[in-house]
Amino acid sequence: MTATTDGSTGALPPRAAAASETDTDTDIPEAAGVPDAARRAVTRATEYLLARQDAEGWWKGDLETNVTMDAEDLLLRQFLGILDEDTTRAAALFIRGEQREDGTWATFYGGPGELSTTIEAYVALRLAGDAPDAPHMAKASAWIRDQGGIAASRVFTRIWLALFGWWKWEDLPELPPELIWFPTWVPLNIYDFGCWARQTIVPLTIVSAKRPVRPAPFPLDELHTDPEHPNPPRPLAPATSWDGVFQRLDRALHAFRKVAPRRVRRAAMNTAARWIIERQENDGCWGGIQPPAVYSIIALHLLGYDLQHPVIREGLASLDRFAVWREDGARMIEACQSPVWDTCLATIALVDAGVPADHPQLVKAADWMLGEEIVKPGDWAVRRPELPPGGWAFEFHNDNYPDIDDTAEVVLALRRVRHHDPDRVESAIARGVRWNLGMQSRNGAWGAFDVDNTSPFPNRLPFCDFGEVIDPPSADVTAHVVEMLAVEGLAHDPRTRRGVEWLLAEQEPDGPWFGRWGVNYIYGTGSVVPALIAAGIPAAHPAIRRAVAWLESVQNDDGGWGEDLRSYRDVRKWAGRGASTPSQTAWALMALLAAGEKDSRAVERGITWLAATQKEDGSWDEPYFTGTGFPWDFSINYHLYRQVFPLTALGRYLNGEPFTGRLPAPGARAADRPLAEAKGM
């Protein structure tokens, strides 16, 4: 692992002082024994989780990110002229509540202040009427100036400010709408970007071409280091470097803007608009995530779609459904919603904890998941036009972008349930397995949404200074697919073995695996070890032993495990280090249990920690962010993680590894059918 630093300050790596901030409502009596404590915890956690299933069969926990979602929601409504007093007051209440003592806003619990997030939160509070000389505002603006002011913020933040004349459009990277016409073999075509970036960039090409400015309701001089010169020039990198090449390309695009034929540009924007409208989901959103919806609404509105047009009206209604209203009247905006992901994980947890496979609530969950299967092509078909559809997305509605990770976990969940219509289940599983196999990248691994989405060029664009914009294969997604394929009887299939070989090659020298979609090395390791064992790698294999040794070496003194998001920036200091959390402790336990370490002291201490920190109602507290959208840049607190993963780990401790001696009879599984029935498997 390569160590890098971000220069941030924060708590020291809490190895020796890693006691969780979770309240402990019950201690484990010495005489009770670890198994008895685990059984009691499983009973309470099972009751808690079952009680929170929706009547339709799904589970969904809040998906908490950071206040940029709330700030940008207010800025959108201000731009469209629909900002109302109640929404503003509720959003401001939430944003104020997230401000730290030093006046800043962070992107994850306990993290350092972040400049762009703080700027957007500050502007949102100005829209809500907070005076710039109020103590909390003055403290924020002083910190912003100390960090370089608006000029030092990321491109997305400056785009929002440019909409109101607080930044100059000509000082932003150019995004020409003609990009929509690039064929797939041309570098920087829209399919070179990850699906989330693609859905954002296409509408932003229209916004960039239009360069709209709405009258600013107030100045922001207090956020500039030099109000007289708010737009300082940015230095050019050497022409021999990639950064220098792309900076000069951006200058050329700015020059092209001045001479681009109006008819051609108008046609490009209309093509982009059709692309956007074709990808609006049935619920009015785009891709099931907030950022593309916001920019798509702005782009279409700039092209003349009024607020009562069905596309705009339904888009705005979809954003309202991302609002979580809290008891104190505050309003938090989710960046996304995770019902499919939460439901399959909850199903897995409950069955592994001992709930009967034909329990009515599990059958209802299976029915709901079966109804969410995506049976039409999406953007993935650009790279795999011959592959039949089949798979699941993350959200309620996202038919254009099923994802490989959800599909693998849904198959694992459906496989656990004894359903009254087994043929329907088997057909859906067969389609999901076929689709996942068809989405394997050339290197033998799997990304989240697309095949071979590994172009080196998108990350070089001056526009792309925030988060991941490509979707290369990752260890955690690959592991989930490998585990699913092994359960489906395909452990010895050459494609599965290629995935196994890739995973073995990706192991870090000291034992863990990098976690792309969860924090971080604990998540990666907790995903990979069970998959390798399921695929037939023996527990005595050196890779498994290295992983076990690493997990034991980073176990906290309180018996749990935790890893701070800073491990994405400072590997040497933070990898596997952080205050103990329920979800990360569970991931470590799932790996150790799969590796045959049930009777080890490390597992005993981890199970004890989970049982001791459980609340009386059967739940756990977890303020820490253990999920990611983009490592470090965009972090997620999945509120159901604290429930489903501890229950899974406790269940496997008591009941053994899933499918051991419990696999369906031969002939019942998708993998036992002739491969000719599923061309492409």
The CA distance from 33 to 31, in Å, is: 6
Cβ neighbours of residue 219 under 8 Å, at least 6 residues apart? 166
405 is catalytic: yes
Q: Name which of 112, 92, 101 is nearest 136 in CA terms.
A: 101
Tell me the two tokens of residue 427: 């057909």
Helix (H) or strand (E) holding 638: strand 634-638
Query: In 398-439, at which residue ranges do the beta strands (DSSP E only) sit?
Result: none
Provide the CA 416 distance to its chain's centre, in angstroms. 25
| Other C-beta atoms lying within 10 Å of the C-beta of residue 660 | 10
Alpha-carbon distances of 287 from 74, 138, 200, 514, rounded to whole Å: 21, 38, 10, 26
The CA–CA distances, whole Å, from 7 to 10, 18, 521, 569 equal 10, 22, 21, 9
Which residue type occupies 407? T
Q: Across the strands, what pairs with 331?
A: 325
Burial letters 429-440, b for 16+ CB under 10 A, else e: bbbbbbbbbbbb
> Residue 302: in which H helix or E strand, if any?
helix 290-302
Nearest to 362 by CA among 375, 373, 347: 347
Task: Give every CB contact of residue 632 below 8 A, 6+ residues apart in sequence.
Answer: 565, 568, 569
The bridge status of strand 63-64 relative to strand 634-638 is antiparallel
Query: Quick one: three-class SS letters along 351-379?
Result: HHCCCCCCCHHHHHHHHHHHHCCCCCCCH
Q: Which residues contact 657 (CB under 8 A, 6 or more apart)?
A: 530, 533, 593, 594
Backbone angles phi, psi at 630, to 5 degrees: -125, 125
Q: Please name the residue that has the structure tokens 């820490």.
A: 624
Both structure tokens of 113? 């202040």
Q: Are 563 and 578 in contact (CB under 8 A)?
A: yes
Give dist(CA 560, CA 648) in Å, integer.
15
Cβ-proximal residues to 601 (8 Å cutoff; 6+ apart), any chain: none
Contacts of 312 (CB under 8 A, 6+ apart): 297, 300, 301, 305, 306
Considering 73, 342, 405, 570, which one is annotated as catalytic? 405
DSSP-assigned beta bridge partners for residue 336: 289
Just list the catalytic residues: 405
